Chain A
Amino acid sequence: MLEIKNLHASVDGREILRGIDLVIRPGEVHAIMGPNGSGKSTLANIIAGRPGYEATAGEVLFDGKSLLELAPEERAREGLFLAFQYPVEIPGVNNLYFLKAAVNAVRKHRGEEELDALDFLEKVQQRAGLVKMDESFLKRPVNEGFSGGEKKRNEILQMTVLEPKLAVLDETDSGLDIDALKVVADGVNALRSPERAFLVITHYQRLLDHIVPDVVHVMVDGVIVRSGGPQLALELEEQGYSLYGRAEGESRRAQA
């Protein structure tokens, strides 16, 4: 489903990713762990097409199509979803309206008719229940005045409504208490299916207690230094990243 070959990427002219190779098949859940500043979020943003993040070499294929040449909206319409590390507040744009515009943009791309307003509302209400989000949030402007946990839940709500083929979760667990963490995990687990894949980026192992990955990758300094089964996450939790030449939590940015 996702095939990344020798990906190099820069932000503001500084090379962050230095040759990433990664293959994710339908139905799989991959986790990428690594210290701060290792390039995890850069990888997520490159996949989603964030302006300012530049792939300098290599390729990213999504269902065989080259992703790097597509605009962010085209990637989303092809079935890609990024849960933002820092969800954006958009004053004046109603959450439900935003969801509807997104769903209909994707449906239009697939040659499907726009959803009937009532069917849509019913679907969103059902998914809001799944992520334990009060319906009043649907009427509020996107993320405006939401707490950190509410914003992350709103990301998961969008994911469950948009039903992507591949969802990338960029540190969705950061800043969440254990209850909110379970909500996020339940949202992901409810969507797990043989046709769908997930890339879960996290700094800590605890999210992976609830979303059990098929493969865990360790990223340090812009390269994947090790891949393994779920037990690798537990190992990292005990030993930190020092095995890979880095102290736990130590950042290349901080060193710079």
Chain B
Amino acid sequence: MSDDAKRAAAPDALGCATDWLGRAEALAAALPAPLRFDELRAGARGELLQRGLPNRRQEVWRTVDLNGFRAQEFAAAAAPRPVDAALLDGLDGALRLVLVDGHYVPSLSRRTALPAGVTVAPLAEVAAERPQLLAALGDVPAWNAEPFSALNTANFTDGVVVHVAAGVQLDETIEIALLSSEDTAAHPRLLVVLEAGANARVTELQRGRGRYFSNPVTEIRLGEGAQYRHFVLQDESRSAWQFASVHAELAAGAQASLHRCMLGGLIGRVDLTLTLAGAGANATLEGLALAADGQLLDSHLTVRHAVAHGESRQTFRGVLKGKSRHVFDGLIRVEQDAQKTDAQQQCRNLLLARMAQAQAMPRLEIFADDVKCAHGATVGELDETALFYLRSRGIGEAEAKALLVRAFAGEFLDGLDDAGWRERLEARIDAWLEA
């Protein structure tokens, strides 16, 4: 079917070939009681109906052409379809929760005995057995209205809940895999709540095969002094669309360290909103985008300093080859009461091809007068002199380039405290360069 024909095929109220709203309404009536969240979902549907999907006239969406996406029909997978187990390569821990097409799959997952006070479980299970743990669901401030976050809220059927009670440290890394099969739309929902002084770490893998739509939402709420690390490998299919949202809120003294490596998607976009809600909270956001021919990788970040003495660091890097685009839009917003804020934001891009295009839009909105804020953006090519230096020592051109690209990505790699993942990622970068 041509794109035009698809667009004409019964578009829903949002102007999409897939009837998102009709599907969400049917789902609302069919869901089991614990998963209904009637008010939350009705609110999301209302927001979608009122605002529609974004278009390029909206400032934060002007970098993305959604026409191709609107024309696509995606199936609502009522149950997970079989997937290639190789998609789970890299996840080898004892605690692994796997979702396929937005549904939890016990046969691919591994559950282990957890310390008292720790819950790591599928969302549908938690909703049925301990709904009190879901109080934060849909409650972590999104700050900017994000239509794809609302689309998830209206459509999610399962996900993962991580809940760690006050003062408890979970040593085991929590592994989460969000997998997709061909032609489907998936809306997995992750909720992470760390109470005061708790400590946990998540490694998340996003993968699939063929053409599909992945629409994950992650909500993170950290109590006072909680420490949280989250590494995402966005390794979606190159024919997929991914619109991901992350909302995080940090209480006083909480520390969040969020790392995201992005490789996949015809369009792969993340909208991340993080609020430093308590004094002395600290957020580190690091990104590495590897964009290949035909891809658009897009990160929209909002870090909001609501109170004094907060510290935030955003460091995003892009490596681009072929006719690809990398967009980084980072906003630091410092509210009037957020004195002594220390916020930095950096975006660096390395272009390996003439047709590649990098856009960096660092933005500051500062309403307090005693703050330290810095931002910067660079775009450059591989250093020819360095390349010659390496080659003059016998190192082949391809290996020399890989060395320099790995060096460029080095700070991101150094930020991964898991040596196994660092090695895997280095190998992934090398393979990406050769592909």
Nearest B residue to A105 via CB reads B394
Could you say which of B139-147, B246-254, B337-345, B380-388 contacts chain A?
A: B380-388
Asked whether, in the complex, the Cβ of A73 is within 8 Å of the Cβ of B395, the reply is: yes
Residues of B that sit less than 8 Å from A by CB = 383-386, 388-397, 399-400, 403-404, 406-408, 410-411
* 17 examples of A-B residue contacts, CB within 8 angstroms: A48-B392, A49-B392, A50-B392, A72-B391, A73-B391, A73-B397, A73-B400, A76-B391, A76-B393, A76-B394, A92-B408, A98-B393, A101-B390, A102-B393, A103-B394, A105-B395, A109-B394
Asked whether, in the complex, the Cβ of A92 is within 8 Å of the Cβ of B390, the reply is: no
Residues of A that sit less than 8 Å from B by CB = 48-51, 71-73, 75-77, 81-82, 84, 87-93, 98, 101-103, 105-106, 109, 141, 158, 162
Complex-state Cα separation, A50 to B383, whole angstroms: 13
Asked whether, in the complex, the Cβ of B391 is within 8 Å of the Cβ of A71, the reply is: yes
- If A51-B384, A73-B395 are given as contacts, then 11 extra A-B residue pairs at C-beta distance below 8 Å, sorted by A number, are A71-B391, A72-B392, A73-B394, A73-B397, A88-B389, A92-B410, A93-B404, A101-B393, A102-B394, A105-B399, A141-B407
Asked whether, in the complex, the Cβ of B391 is within 8 Å of the Cβ of A92, the reply is: no
The 3 closest A-B pairs by CB, nearest first: A92-B407, A76-B394, A102-B393
Asked whether, in the complex, the Cβ of B393 is within 8 Å of the Cβ of A158, the reply is: yes
Q: For chains A and B in complex, what number of residue pairs have CB atoms within 8 angstroms? A: 79
With beta carbons under 8 angstroms apart, the residue of A49, A84, A101, A158 that contacts B399 is: A101
Q: Which residues of chain A are near B394, meaning CB under 8 Å?
A: 73, 76-77, 102-103, 105-106, 109, 162
Complex-state Cα separation, A67 to B332, whole angstroms: 55
Complex-state Cα separation, A89 to B386, whole angstroms: 7
Asked whether, in the complex, the Cβ of A91 is within 8 Å of the Cβ of B407, the reply is: yes
With A73-B396, A105-B396 as known contacts, state yes or no: A50 contacts B404, CB within 8 Å.
Answer: no
Complex-state Cα separation, A71 to B386, whole angstroms: 15
Q: Which residues of chain A are near B385, meaning CB under 8 Å?
A: 88
Complex-state Cα separation, A75 to B388, whole angstroms: 12
Q: Which residues of chain A are near B386, meaning CB under 8 Å?
A: 88-90
Asked whether, in the complex, the Cβ of A82 is within 8 Å of the Cβ of B392, the reply is: yes
Complex-state Cα separation, A98 to B399, whole angstroms: 11
Q: Which residues of chain B are near A141, meaning CB under 8 Å?
A: 407
Asked whether, in the complex, the Cβ of A90 is within 8 Å of the Cβ of B390, the reply is: yes
With A71-B397, A73-B397, A76-B393 as known contacts, state yes or no: A50 contacts B388, CB within 8 Å.
Answer: yes
Q: Which residues of chain A are near B392, meaning CB under 8 Å?
A: 48-50, 72-73, 75-76, 81-82, 84
